Amino acid sequence: MADTTPQKAAPVKSDTALREEALVQFWKEHNIFERSIDRKSAKGEFVFYDGPPFATGMPHMGHLLASAYKDAVGRYKTMQGYRVPRRWGWDCHGLPIESLVEKKLGLKTKKDIEVLGVEKFNAEARASVQQFVSDWEWYVDRIGRWVDFKNSYKTMDNSYMESVWWALKRLHEKKLLYEGNRVLMYCTHCETPLAKAEIQMDNTYKDVIDEAVTVKFKVIDPKKHGLPENTYILAWTTTPWTLPGNVGLAVGAEIDYVVVKQGAEQLVLAKELLEKMLGSEAAITASVKGSDLVGIKYEPLYTVAAVEAHTGKRHEVLAADFVTTTDGTGVVHTAVMYGEDDYNLGKKEGLPMVQLLTQNGHYNEKAPELVRDMFYKKGGRYVLEDLEKRGRVFKIEKYNHSYPHCYRCGTALIYNAVSSWFLGINSIPEGGTKTIKERMLEENKEINWVPDHLRDGRFNNILEGAPDWTISRNRFWATPLPIWRCTGCPEKSVIGSVDELRARAKQPVPEGQDLHRPYIDSFTLTCEHCQGEMKRTPEVVDCWVESGSMPFAELSYPRENKDVFEKRFPGDFITEYIAQTRTWFYYTHAMGVMVFDTKAFKNVTSTGTILAADGEKMSKSKGNYTDPKINLDLYGADALRFYLMGSPVMQAEDTNFRDEDLKETHSRIINMLWNSYTFYSMYAKEVPQGIDVTKSPNVLDRWIISRLSQVITEVTTSLDGYETTPACRSIRDFVEDYSTWYLRRSRERIKEEGDDKAYALATMRTTLLTLSKVIAPIMPFIAESMYQGLKGNEESVHLDAWPQPLATVSVPLHADMDTARAVTSAALEARSAAKIKVRQPLALLTVSGEHSLAKSFDKESLLEIIAAEVNVKEIVMGDTSGQLVALDTIVTPELQAEGYLRDLIRAVQDFRKQKGLNPNDVPTLTLTVTGESKVFAERYRDELIKATHLTGIAFADTAETTITVGAMSFGLSL
């Protein structure tokens, strides 16, 4: 892959990143994940199915999101008392890896692969599968995802493929597996049909400019139909290469058509499109209904012998309900092999079905000589040129439209009638009463979708519109289709296991026989009907059959693990991004309903797509996003996890990833938490034992414990519903409440010995320890660091139990505290408006307005908290009219002196800090005073010494530094 992004210099790892990386090692060395699974679980197993990623590409931001979320749910359920085995899987087969190998070996066509040999090609594919494993493992570890990586299942394992065979045989027995012809999207490079879902999933539609041509079809014997001589029917197409395959013209029976004279010719087209095609001046000769045109014969543009030999209808006007007047002429050129509607109309009307293309998109020997052996695109140009020369082209225009391309090789797809194997989504299985689709719709009603609108919205719509599933691919590297057909009679056999193959094959099937092509192709069977030879049909299976079989195939069911599977099906939980509603979610659901007549999963969460900051797809070549490794080194995995899981991407909405938002998460959540924790750590040794924090008389403690209990309830509800966004909001608010209010107002409390200090420290410990458990699923690293530092009971927070609320949530207390905070910020605003700094004490704050504070049980305590924060001597409650607060801003000489005192204390404290002293150090610190400052210092001697640990106040001429407060100056020496 060409990477033109200039490599950014690797940043120095942040402390956060280093701390997290050490924890990855700790978890590994102490087998914490394994122990969380091996221990007894009170609630039994929580079944998680991991959708296997393609083993052929590097992990990207979408994978990191999925990993983070899968991990969060797993950790949460573990703490709740479940056993949550998590096993990694690899999707190893299919076009993604085949096209990788083609590029690597320089193979241009499917023929090149056959020349090289399927054996060599597949050996190369097998070898390429594991090349990105170490990259994946690095990301999985670094994001903090716990998953059994070493014991991963692989869709290319024999035992896995055998389970897929078993399922196909079962579906054959249920009469759901059939062979049929249908027009499918087809890649001429890969030479295989593709499912529409595959194209829609990755949205490989591209805007292209094609030539749209309006062609004149000459009516035979117009008089017979009451039409003038020289009448031509106009039909329009954007795929001129299909014109040699034209066998009919479709009109709408109820649509109004007109005949218009142009020169010597009479032209037929829909009335509604007349002006668009011919302008407003056109002279109408006659008006007819579409139904009047039906049966008119016209001269074919080209002679195709196989079509001429057809005895039924051909080259005539037919009625069809898909004809519209939105585009073109209101007459649809019908080439039955190259359009879905065309094909169905051809079946209904008995039109000739003659394929003019080879498998690699060249015209075959049946095609007109003009284009024979040419690639279809080139042929299309020859057709246009030829028709122009023959005067059959009415108009050529540029036509801009969105056109499907192969999701692997990028080749423009065509619609092509091909023979393929299908699973009958629209069939009623043997012994059933409803179609598979009806059962899928019913079972879907029982599935819990997050977000819930997907169940009756998008997924339901996909189910309703689901076609039969084309499961065969004309390729090499995938589970071979286990169908053998007789060379002498129409008999077919579907083989469901290796044992069955061994019993039926003419050749011995050795133990451990690789089931891949080409080896499997060498086994022949004897026909049970005519004793003739049976050979395997050459196709392989669509890789979505394999990934949709994951619930049973990863267990090699039914050959092994019967009891395990029965306990693990349907699964409790799956999650992937929104495009998987068409693919993995859909196909897993389909396999569940078809094979077991039940849904395959009970809960499913769909995330949105993560886009770059500019709203475009994240693109390496555009360089519009930062390498996740760099962000992980800067901000760590917790910040990334919290940012993603708190964003709208968790509600299946597309979300632009912004580095600055990640940075903000790091500073607002991770740093704030960490600072709260390290502040506590300084006092950890002084924390008294045996204090019941719920009994604290201090309103701040009661409030934070109540808030904590609320957060536990909210996060539990949120995660029980598989939703992380409300959980993140709740955690974010709490971290802020704790840090910017509880801790801020409690700092002073731990400076003085006594009961209040004991309660404050005990409350901090309880709060932080409990919080570490609440945040553990979403931010497993910082949770672990805090938990271990706070000496939790287990070796790891992830082995501890999910916390229960500590106290009843007091809603009135929360409201009162909110009011106190609102009053505080209003008062501080008033201060700032009056340009009076907070250190300057003021006399009076009057609090008014309609709120509960006046009647609050905690009124006195809350007013004290406000007074301390706002720095006022007294608060009085005013009447309820007017503003919330009125601040007395008069600074009396007395108040001013107190302000000076605060300034002086602050300056001395700053000096202590500069000197590197801890709060409790008592060095020889001297304040030098003269004149006016001496009077001041003497007056406030006790307060000064207590607040700053001064050892003396002295007269002197010199000092180390000078502090100016108001008009006074002080010296300071250490």
What residues are annotated to the active site?
A: 52, 91, 544, 580, 584, 617, 620
Residue with Cβ nearer Zn ion (105 or 801): 105
Among 97, 101, 190, 251, binds Zn ion (CB under 5 A): 190
The DSSP 8-state label assigned to residue 278 in this structure reads H
Tell me whether residue 491 or residue 795 sits nearer to Zn ion (CB atom): 491
Residue 199 binds to Zn ion (criterion: CB under 5 A): no
C-alpha distances in angstroms, 269 versus 248, 315, 901? Answer: 15, 17, 96
* Contacting residue, 529, 559, 658, 949, with Zn ion by CB under 5 A: 529
Least spacing, CB of residue 348 vs Zn ion, in Å: 31
Q: Kindly indicate which of the ranges 142-150, 382-390, 484-492, 694-702 contains the residues binding Zn ion, using the contact rule CB under 5 A.
A: 484-492
**693 lies in the site for Zn ion, by CB under 5 A:** no
Q: Is 146 helix (H, G, I), strand (E, B) or coil?
A: coil
* 182 versus 189: smaller Cβ distance to Zn ion: 189
Q: 545: closest CA among 464, 499, 482?
A: 482
Residue 488 makes contact with Zn ion by CB under 5 A: yes
Nearer to Zn ion, 49 or 407 (CB): 407
CA 23 to chain centre: 27
Q: Compute the half-sphere exposure of residue 392: CA atoms within 13 Å on the CB side of its CA.
A: 19
User: Which span (285-293, 306-314, 481-489, 612-620) binds Zn ion, by CB under 5 A?
Assistant: 481-489
Give the SS3 label for residue 154: strand
Other CB atoms within 10 Å distance of the CB of residue 835: 7
Kindly write out the interface string for residues 931-960 of this chain, putting x where it contacts Zn ion by CB under 5 A and - elsewhere. Answer: ------------------------------
Q: Are 663 and 635 in contact (CB under 8 A)?
A: yes
Interaction with Zn ion in 396-425: which residues (CB under 5 A)? 406, 409, 411
**Among 530, 822, 886, 897, which residue sits at the site for Zn ion (rule: CB under 5 A)?**
530
Contact between residue 101 and residue 128 where contact means Cβ atoms under 8 Å apart: yes
Alpha-helix residue ranges (DSSP H) falling in 296-414: 305-308, 340-349, 376-389
Asked if 107 is part of the footprint of Zn ion (rule: CB under 5 A), the reply reads no
Q: Name the segment binding Zn ion (CB under 5 A); options: 365-373, 478-486, 545-553, 624-632.
A: 478-486
Least spacing, CB of residue 534 vs Zn ion, in Å: 7
Q: Contact region for Zn ion (CB under 5 A) — 180-188, 815-823, 828-836, 842-850?
A: 180-188
Exposure string for 550-562, b = 16+ CB within 10 A, e = fewer: bbbbbbbbbeeee
Contact 39, 82 (CB under 8 A): no
Cα 120 from chain centre: 36
Angle between helical axes of 628-645 and 15-29 (0-180°, round to 10): 80
Per rule CB under 5 A, is residue 486 in the interface with Zn ion? yes
Outline where 721-855 has alpha helix (H): 725-737, 744-746, 755-775, 780-789, 811-833
Q: Compute the least distance from the CB of residue 621 to Zn ion, in Å.
A: 20
Range list of H helices, 130-225? 133-142, 158-173, 196-201
How many CB atoms sit inside 10 A of residue 1's CB?
8
Which of 37-45, 418-426, 527-535, 554-562 is the region at the interface with Zn ion (rule: CB under 5 A)?
527-535
Nearer to Zn ion, 20 or 198 (CB): 198
Q: Which is nearer to Zn ion, 110 or 517 (CB)?
A: 110
Nearest to 729 by CA among 647, 657, 811: 647
Which is nearer to Zn ion, 527 or 670 (by Cβ)?
527
Residue 180 near residue 424 (C-beta atoms within 8 A): no
Quick one: which segment of 182-190, 297-305, 630-638, 715-723 binds Zn ion (CB under 5 A)?
182-190
Contact characters 854-893, Zn ion, x per CB under 5 A: ----------------------------------------
User: How many chain residues interact with Zn ion (CB under 5 A)?
Assistant: 14
Q: What is the DSSP code (8-state) at residue 14?
A: P
Q: For residue 968, which phi and psi values (nearest 5 degrees)?
A: -95, 155
Q: How far is the CB of 490 from Zn ion (least distance, A)?
A: 8
Select the span of 483-491, 561-569, 650-658, 933-941 touching Zn ion (CB under 5 A).
483-491
Please report whether residue 189 would count as binding Zn ion according to CB under 5 A: yes
Tokens standing for 671? 């740093």
Q: Which of 187, 249, 270, 895 binds Zn ion (CB under 5 A)?
A: 187
Q: Which residues, 6 or more positions from 908, have their beta carbon under 8 angstroms from its beta carbon?
A: 925, 927, 944, 947, 948, 950, 963, 972
Regarding 485 and contact with Zn ion (CB under 5 A), the answer is no
Alpha carbon of 899 to those of 46, 636, 908, 931: distances in Å?
A: 62, 43, 14, 19
Which residue carries 């997907």 as its tokens? 454
Binding residue for Zn ion (CB under 5 A) from 85, 432, 518, 532?
Answer: 532
- Residue 455, classified by CB atoms within 10 Å of its CB into exposed (0-12), middle (13-18) or buried (19+), is middle
Residue 489 near Zn ion by CB under 5 A? yes
Contact between 185 and Zn ion by CB under 5 A: the answer reads: no
Structure tokens at 660: 């600055």
Amino acid residing at 39: R
Q: From the CB of 411, what's the least distance to Zn ion, in Å?
A: 5
Taking the complex as a whole, the smallest distance from the CB of residue 633 to Zn ion amounts, in Å, to 38
Q: Which is nearer to Zn ion, 533 or 723 (CB)?
A: 533
The mark string for 491-510 relative to Zn ion (x by CB under 5 A, - otherwise) is x-------------------
Q: Is 256 in the site for Zn ion (CB under 5 A)?
A: no
The mark string for 437-476 relative to Zn ion (x by CB under 5 A, - otherwise) is ----------------------------------------
Where on the chain is the footprint of Zn ion (CB under 5 A)?
Answer: 187, 189-190, 406, 409, 411, 486, 488-489, 491, 527, 529-530, 532
